Chains A and B, each alone.
Chain A
Amino acid sequence: MSERLPNQTSVPTNPSDSEPGGFASLHKGLNRVIESPRLLLGLWLLSLFTGLLATLPARAMLRDVLALRPLAERIAKGEYDVGLLELMNDNPAAMAAVTSAVMVAVLGFFALHAVIAGGVLSRLSPTSSARYVPAGGLLGRAVESSGAMIKLELLFGFAVRTPLLLFGAAVAGFAIGWSKVGELSWQSLTSRLAPVIVLFLLLWSVASIWLNLARLQRLDDDKLSTWQAFLLGVRQLGQRQVLFGALLVAVLGVIGHGGLFFLGRMLTVGLDAKLLILAAFAVRQGLSILRNALSLLVMATTCELAEPKS
């Protein structure tokens, strides 16, 4: 790389100085999340209302098609699943509207998250950090840093996420043997793919931590170019302690989100079948709060890992 990197104070020059370690950072990160209930609440409400907004066309369709139909109850209880197929098959225009609305919401939400990332990371940073902002300053910092954050997001999309996806696909192909994909049973297919999927999710999480490290670099020094922040992020990730901490939170993130997914399924199946709507909604929102808390924990720990060690 011909471009010279500025000498960043936040990058420890001696790995042995990197104290505290991953567990301590995780602990501090957890405290930061606990200390930021309004941030957690805000992010949860953001996903809740974006989700509601995105699915309003679906609600309208369901109301129009099912509200006066006795079969709806059997469909809702999971006793007549082919009814869902009839509904989707016979309402293609409504289905297209539903899909479009969800796509737009997902893209919008993704962009919004990129925009507010600077504010959220600043808020989750240690109070001793120069980049720290109190709750009231979050939005201001988000707006201030939005351009840089979006550029970083795009760079990561092209330089890291896309190659990672291709790499994942290639490894998956290697694991099962492309030419043999049709000759395997589901059991052997899943047993070969499971380690690849777990590895891919870990790498994806580590890549997200790398992105956050780069964001933090950029927040600390607004003179840095996107590319420089990107490289400083990876340099920081290369530090043994940081890498250990990143792997730790990545593992925690993958296990946590996987666990929440299965927990959610386990808890809501019975409630849905009995049409206990409020209870199912409460459970699902509780899980959403936990997912957001987990994401914040990863970010907060990353902030701790990025702090200069003394």
Chain B
Amino acid sequence: MRSVLHHTPTHAPPFASRFASRVLLAALGLSVLVSPFGSPEAQASPSGWPSDTVALRVAGPLSPRTASYRLKARLDEKTHEVKGEGTLIWRNLERKETSELVFNLYQNGFKHHATTFIREAGAQLRGDEMPEHGFGAIDVTSIKIGGVEQVGKAQVIDSLLKLKLDTPVGPGSVVEIELGFTTKLPKVFARSGYADDFHAVTQWFPKIAVFECSKDGATCGFRAHQYHGFTEFFSDHGSYEVTVDVPEPFVVGATGIQVAEQKASGRKQLTFRADDVRDFAWFADPKFVEHRARASDQLGDVEIRVLNRPGLSSLDERHVNGVRAAILEGEHRYFSYPYKNVTVIVPPRQGNGAGGMEYPTLITSFLSPLPDGIRIIESVDAHEFGHQWVPMMINSDEVEDAWLDEGINQTFTAWAMDRLFTDGCSSVKIANFCLNDRDTDWMSARGVLRRMPLSTQSRRLSGRTYGSLTYAYTSLMMRSLENYLGEERMRRALRHYAERYRFHRPRQADFMAAMSEGAGEDLSWYFQQAVNTTRVADYDVLQIENQKHELAYGLWECPPKPPVLPDHVTEAERAEWTRHITESNEAACAGKPAGRHELNPPSEKEKKAAKNKDKPPMDSVVVVRRRGELIYPVDIVVKFEDGSQFSQVWSVAEQSAQPEERMKTLRFFRRAAVERAEVDPQIKLALDEKRLNNGLLAKPNMRPVTRLFLTFQSWVQTALDLISL
């Protein structure tokens, strides 16, 4: 096969190529528009590059539109195959040329039992087993550049296709690639496939990988990952025009908005347009039941289209509510959702493996036969919709930095759910049992020992560790940060990150730096511990001791000298302490000549008399401990029996000064004994692995114990009463 590269470098564009590009772009109906919403690259887009607002609520382009596709796809509903063809326009926006192109063929992850995906995931994902004989694959039948077939030179390695180019694509150049492919869908598994008539057509076309250079420009290459067991997808933004050809009864939900429909011979062709998106997915099923609603934010309305299962229309509003909450929360935390619409797909039971997934302007929810009080539908929808920002617009790489995507979005989900459910029970509210998303994240995160830092590449984690660490731990890490910064500073910091990196490709270090900038404070002390180490967070109150201050005895010099006070006595307590000791000493010396005297311990009678006369001061000790290694500023609150209270912050500086000293001892000399001591009573450190130990009482309080015990006893007794029937 001849290898001829046809590309259009901007500095020396061959006329024919440039003409071809313009024709294609004109066909896409694109023109340059610079949006205040857009990124610097977008504003720097070369003249003539696709730009449109047909699917946007703001002027585009919003992104550099590095990879734009115009595709046609025909679904064979009997064989569950999709035949596709079309054109990819790819721009090299980096500073160096590339002599190869790399494509992701994600469907090849399901090709056989030895793919990277199957080996890592173990033919299951999130509890769903891969169905027998459910393999899928994508066969690239044609790759033409400048009309010349290149497919023979392509090398397919698992889920990647590499194509050596005869002529490199230079910096700023544009290349048009004509693609032909057949995608055999698997039986629904891991976000994709078919179940009866339901078709989840995702990751269905050869998707060009991300070409980038290091920050210093020294090294360049494609950041192309095999399809890994626990992580999802990564690609550049672009414009899409996709025409899908399906049997007429099929209802289709897809990325973007529908711009055309034609019907002929029992089939229909629907054309969808999407701009500034990084993927295109579509779903087809004759059984979809449509429900439409709207959400309003500062940019106007967003159309919400729910494609639900028959008989489940009572759940439509729950889906809509989840999305609405996320739209508003996204605007509050990041920036306004710029697209005109969103589609929510509810897969059938057999297709649940395709549920709980995000694509640009389209999310998949899932069927739940659970009571409304288990608010999982809203939670899943808010979560998946939250992904419209991370990573759909703030384009992080889930394989490299999974927590930037799933973890930040898990935090977002909790915020959105708090917005939706103001009763504080955003996760579960059944009878009187109440859990919020932070509670469920905490239970999930603490269930897994922290043996790998959050910064670990997700492919090096096991399934359970991946979920708990990437999602739940990150959420708690972010919540702890929010509690440290305060809600408004946290919001400013995250918004700063979002605005800086929308339609860019941030890495972990970028996130940490942007958050510090946005918060106006260097947060590396926190991120270094919480992200890059396996330090465990756990503070407790180890000890409370109350001792009455005894009257003087032993060898005393009379008349008494002024007392020498220990260093730990606070100014507030100094006067009280001095007064009491002086009084005590003077009383002991009363009537005695000057000189040394041995005084006997006070008798019980004397003690009683002293007690009745004046309540003796208590010499109290509280020991607070940092059981874990993670250092965080914690409040220490000590309450006394007379109702008074002492508060202090155990600061990061103090803890860091002697990090191996894990205990802080507080001494008090007051007229009242310590009743309780608590460290971090408001649980600001959401990462704290054990919370019950955050406080200690000086004396046992059996009231709550009895209440809980008797309730449990009554459950058992009720069961006994009933089994005697």
Q: What is A's interface to B at a CB cutoff of 8 Å?
A: 43, 47-48, 50-52, 54-55, 58-59, 62-63, 65-73, 75-78, 81-83, 85-87, 89-90, 102, 105-106, 109-110, 113, 180-189, 204-205, 208, 253, 257, 261, 264-265, 268-269, 272, 275, 277, 280-281, 284, 288, 291-292, 295, 298
Task: Tell me if A295 and B369 are in contact (CB < 8 A).
Answer: no
Chain B interface size band reads 35 or more
CB within 8 Å for A269 and B432 given contacts A55-B713, A70-B676, A275-B707: yes
Tell me the residues in window 353-385 of chain B with beta carbons closer than 8 Å to chain A beta carbons.
367-372
Task: Tell me if A55 and B691 are in contact (CB < 8 A).
Answer: no
Task: Tell me if B443 and A65 are in contact (CB < 8 A).
Answer: no
Among all A-B residue pairs, the 3 with the closest Cβ atoms: A76-B704, A51-B717, A182-B349
Docked pose: A48 CA to B717 CA in angstroms: 6
Q: Determine if B295 is an interface residue (Cβ-Cβ < 8 Å).
A: no
Docked pose: A275 CA to B706 CA in angstroms: 9
A residues near B722, Cβ cutoff 8 Å? 257, 291
B residues near A51, Cβ cutoff 8 Å? 713-714, 716-717, 720
Task: Tell me if A184 and B311 are in contact (CB < 8 A).
Answer: yes
Task: Tell me if B311 and A183 are in contact (CB < 8 A).
Answer: yes
Question: Per a CB cutoff under 8 Å, which of A67, A77, A89, A295 touches B705?
Answer: A67
Docked pose: A183 CA to B417 CA in angstroms: 24
Question: Per a CB cutoff under 8 Å, which of A47, A66, A82, A110 touches B708?
Answer: A66
CB within 8 Å for A182 and B695 given contacts A51-B717, A59-B705, A272-B707: no
Task: Tell me if B712 and A184 are in contact (CB < 8 A).
Answer: no
Docked pose: A208 CA to B711 CA in angstroms: 28
A64 to chain B, nearest CB (A): 9
From B725, which residue of chain A is reached at the shortest CB distance?
A: A208
Task: Tell me if A70 and B433 are in contact (CB < 8 A).
Answer: no
From A280, which residue of chain B is reached at the shortest CB distance?
A: B710
Docked pose: A105 CA to B712 CA in angstroms: 14
A interface, over-half SS: helix
Q: What is B's interface to A at a CB cutoff of 8 Å?
A: 309, 311-312, 314-315, 348-349, 352, 367-372, 431-435, 439, 442-443, 446-447, 676, 678, 681, 690-697, 700-714, 716-725
Task: Tell me if B692 and A295 are in contact (CB < 8 A).
Answer: no
B356 to chain A, nearest CB (A): 14
B residues near A257, Cβ cutoff 8 Å? 722, 725
Docked pose: A65 CA to B702 CA in angstroms: 11
Task: Tell me if B707 and A277 are in contact (CB < 8 A).
Answer: yes
A–B complex contacts, Cβ < 8 Å, 12 sampled: A65-B692, A68-B696, A69-B697, A70-B696, A71-B695, A81-B435, A86-B692, A106-B716, A109-B720, A110-B723, A186-B369, A288-B717
Docked pose: A110 CA to B315 CA in angstroms: 43
A89 to chain B, nearest CB (A): 7
Task: Tell me if B700 and A109 are in contact (CB < 8 A).
Answer: no
From B719, which residue of chain A is reached at the shortest CB distance?
A: A106
Task: Tell me if A69 and B692 are in contact (CB < 8 A).
Answer: yes
For B314, B372, B447, B714, which residue has the most chain A Cβ atoms within 10 angstroms? B714
Task: Tell me if A272 and B711 are in contact (CB < 8 A).
Answer: yes
From A85, which residue of chain B is reached at the shortest CB distance?
A: B443
Docked pose: A230 CA to B309 CA in angstroms: 50
A residues near B692, Cβ cutoff 8 Å? 65-66, 69, 71-72, 83, 86-87, 90
Task: Tell me if A106 and B720 are in contact (CB < 8 A).
Answer: yes
CB within 8 Å for A72 and B714 given contacts A82-B443, A181-B369, A184-B369: no
From B428, which residue of chain A is reached at the shortest CB distance?
A: A81
Task: Tell me if B716 and A54 are in contact (CB < 8 A).
Answer: yes
Docked pose: A145 CA to B629 CA in angstroms: 67
Docked pose: A205 CA to B343 CA in angstroms: 50
Task: Tell me if B708 and A76 are in contact (CB < 8 A).
Answer: yes
A residues near B678, Cβ cutoff 8 Å? 70
Docked pose: A188 CA to B725 CA in angstroms: 30
For B447, B678, B697, which residue has the most chain A Cβ atoms within 10 angstroms? B697
A177 to chain B, nearest CB (A): 11
Docked pose: A205 CA to B722 CA in angstroms: 11
Docked pose: A182 CA to B195 CA in angstroms: 14
B residues near A280, Cβ cutoff 8 Å? 707, 710-711
Task: Tell me if A205 and B369 are in contact (CB < 8 A).
Answer: no
Task: Tell me if B718 and A291 are in contact (CB < 8 A).
Answer: yes
Task: Tell me if B696 and A183 are in contact (CB < 8 A).
Answer: no
Question: Per a CB cutoff under 8 Å, which of B681, B690, B708, B717 touches A75?
Answer: B708
Docked pose: A123 CA to B123 CA in angstroms: 64
A residues near B431, Cβ cutoff 8 Å? 265
Docked pose: A288 CA to B700 CA in angstroms: 30
A45 to chain B, nearest CB (A): 11
CB within 8 Å for A106 and B724 given contacts A55-B709, A69-B697, A185-B369: no
